[in-house]
Amino acid sequence: DRYLSRAAVPSAAPPRISIAADGGQAPVFRISPVEPWRIVRTRLRASGLSKGLVEGGGRPAGYFTGATGITIYRGDAWPADLLGVAIIGDVGSNIVHRKRLTADGVVWRAERMDAGHELVASKDIWFRPVQYANAPDGCLQILDMYREVIEHPASLPPEIKRHLDLTSGRDRGRLYRLAPAGYVYRPAPRLSQASTAELVALLEHPNAWHREAASRLLYERQDVSAVPLLKVLLRTSQSGLARFHAIGSLQGLRSLAGDDVVVALSDAVAGVRERAVLAAEGLLSEPAVSAGLLGMSSEQDARVLMQLAFTLGELPASAERQRALATILERRGEDRWIRTAVLSSLGTTAGEVLLQLSGREGAGTAAVLELADAAARQIADEGGLAVLREALTNVNENPGLQVRILQTAAAANAKLSKMPGFQQMSSNLLARARLTAGDESAGVADRAAALRVLSLSGYAGERELLLAALDPAQAPELQLAAMETLTGFADVEIAGELITRLPSLSPAQTTRAREALLRRSAWAAVLLEAIEGGVLPNTAVTPTELQRLAELPDNAVRTRALRLLESTARSSRDEVLRAYQVTLTLPGDRERGAAVFRQQCSGCHQIGAVGYQVGPNLVALKSRGAEAILTNVLDPNREVNPAWRDYLAVTTDGTTHNGVLVQEAAESLTLRRAEAKETRLLRADIEVIRDTGRSLMPEGLEKNVDTQAMADLIQFILTSE
Confidence of residue 363 (pLDDT cuts 50, 70, 90): confident
pLDDT for 57 equals 62
Element (H, E) at 108: strand 107-112
Q: Flag whether 689 is in a domain.
A: no
Confidence of residue 55 (pLDDT cuts 50, 70, 90): low
Of 675, 676, 674, 646, the C-alpha closest to 660 is 646
Tell me what pLDDT residue 620 has: 66
Is pLDDT at 121 greater than 50 in this prediction? yes
In three-state secondary structure terms, 298 is coil
Q: Report which of residues 139 and 166 the model is more confident about.
A: 139
Q: What is the pLDDT of residue 439?
A: 92
DSSP secondary structure letter of residue 315: S
The 3-state secondary structure of 407-441 reads HHHHHHCCCHHHCHHHHHHHHHHHHHHHHHHCCCC
What are the phi and psi torsion angles at 89 (to 5°)? -105, 155
Assess whether pLDDT exceeds 90 at residue 257: yes
Per-residue pLDDT of 311-359, as tens digits, reads 999 999 999 999 999 999 999 988 999 999 999 999 888 999 999 898 7
Select from 527, 593, 586, 594 the least CA-distant residue to 554: 527
pTM above 0.85, yes or no: no
CA distance to 29, 162, 201, 220, 275, per residue, from 192 (Å): 43, 50, 14, 11, 27
User: Minimum mean pLDDT among 367-371, 376-380, 566-570, 635-639: which range?
Assistant: 566-570
What pLDDT, on a 0 to 100 scale, did the predictor assign at position 273? 98
pLDDT of res. 570:
47
Least confident of 146-160, 347-361, 628-642: 628-642
Q: Which of 630, 622, 624, 625 is nearest to 578 (CA)?
A: 630
pLDDT band at 572 (very low <50, low <70, confident <90, very high): low
pLDDT computed for residue 498 by the predictor: 94
- What number of residues does the chain have? 721
Q: What do you get for the CA distance between the two ends of the chain, in Å?
A: 40
Q: What percent of the chain has pLDDT over 90?
A: 53
Looking at residues 435-453, what average pLDDT do you find?
90
Quick check: is 613 in a domain? no
* Distant-in-sequence, close-in-space partners of 95: CB < 8 Å, separation ≥ 6: 28, 29, 30, 89, 118, 119, 120, 121, 122, 129
CA distance 240 to 263: 13
- Chain centroid, CA 394 distance in Å: 33
Contact 272, 264 (CB under 8 A): yes
pLDDT at 107 over 70: yes
Number of domains in the chain: 1
Per-residue pLDDT at 83 exceeds 70:
yes
The three-state secondary structure class of 648 is: strand
R_g (Cα) of the chain, nearest Å: 30
Phi, psi of 381 (to 5 degrees): -150, 180
Residues 693, 638: contact at Cβ < 8 Å? no
Cβ density class 402-433: b for 16+ within 10 Å, e for less: bbbbbbbbbbbbeebbebebbeebbeebbeeb
| Domain encompassing residue 77 | 36-178
Which band of pLDDT confidence, cut at 50, 70 and 90, is reported for residue 53? low
Q: Residue 619: its pLDDT value, please?
A: 67
Residue 99 lies in a domain: yes
* 608 within 8 A of 617, measured Cβ to Cβ: no
Q: What is the 3-state secondary structure (H, E, C) of 124-180?
A: CCCCCEEEEEECCCCCEEEEECCCCCCCCHHHCCHHHHCCCCCCCCCCCCEEEEECC
Helix, strand or coil for residue 49? coil
More confident residue, 96 or 621: 96
Does 489 score more than 60 pLDDT? yes
Nearest to 139 by CA among 88, 173, 198, 182: 182
642 in a domain, yes or no? no
Rounded Cα distance, 279 and 379, in Å: 35
pLDDT of the residue at 567: 67
Q: Is residue 394 exposed (0-12), middle (13-18) or buried (19+ Cβ within 10 Å)? A: buried
Distances (CA, A) of 366 to 86, 358, 445, 552: 34, 11, 22, 33
What percent of the chain has a predicted confidence (pLDDT) above 70? 96
Tell me: the pLDDT tens digits for 170-223? 999 999 999 999 999 999 999 999 999 999 999 999 999 999 999 999 999 999
Reading across the β-sheet that carries 129-134, which strands appear in turn? 129-134, 140-144, 174-178
Look at residues 201, 318, 256, 320 and name the one whose alpha carbon lies nearest to residue 265: 256
Torsional sign, CA 323, 326, 327, 328? positive
Confidence of residue 9 (pLDDT cuts 50, 70, 90): confident
Tell me whether residue 148 is in a domain. Answer: yes
pLDDT digits (tens, 9 = 90+) for 445-480: 889 989 988 988 889 999 999 999 998 878 889 999
Amino acid in position 74 = R
The pLDDT of residue 374 is 92
Per-residue confidence (pLDDT) for residue 473, from 0 to 100: 79
CA distance 293 to 281: 10
User: CA-CA distance, 250 to 248, in Å (whole number)?
Assistant: 5
Q: Hey, how many other C-beta atoms are within 10 angstroms of the C-beta on 81?
A: 8
For 542, list phi and psi in degrees, rounded to 5. Answer: -85, 160
Q: What is the pLDDT of residue 92?
A: 92
What pLDDT does 623 receive?
A: 64
CA atoms of 688 and 672, how far apart (whole Å): 17
CA distance 655 to 663: 20
> Are residues 517 and 527 in contact, defined by beta-carbon separation less than 8 angstroms?
yes
Secondary structure in 3-state letters for 205-253: CCCHHHHHHHHHHHHHHCCCCHHHHHHHHHHHCCCHHHHHHHHHHHHHC
DSSP secondary structure string for all residues of 57-96: GG-SSSB-S--EEEEE---SSS-GGGTT-EEEEETTTTEE
**Average pLDDT of the residues of the chain:** 89
The residue among 548, 470, 459, 466 whose CA lies nearest residue 503 is 470
Question: pLDDT-derived band of residue 675, with 50, 70 and 90 as boundaries?
Answer: confident
For position 421, what pLDDT does the model report?
93
Q: Decide if 458 is inside a domain.
A: no
Question: Is 62 domain-assigned?
Answer: yes
Q: Which pLDDT tens digit goes with each residue over 588-626?
A: 999 999 999 999 988 888 887 788 888 877 766 666 678
Q: Say whether pLDDT at 569 is over 60.
A: no
Identify whether 433 is part of a domain. Answer: no
Is residue 203 within 8 A of residue 233, CB to CB? The reply is: yes
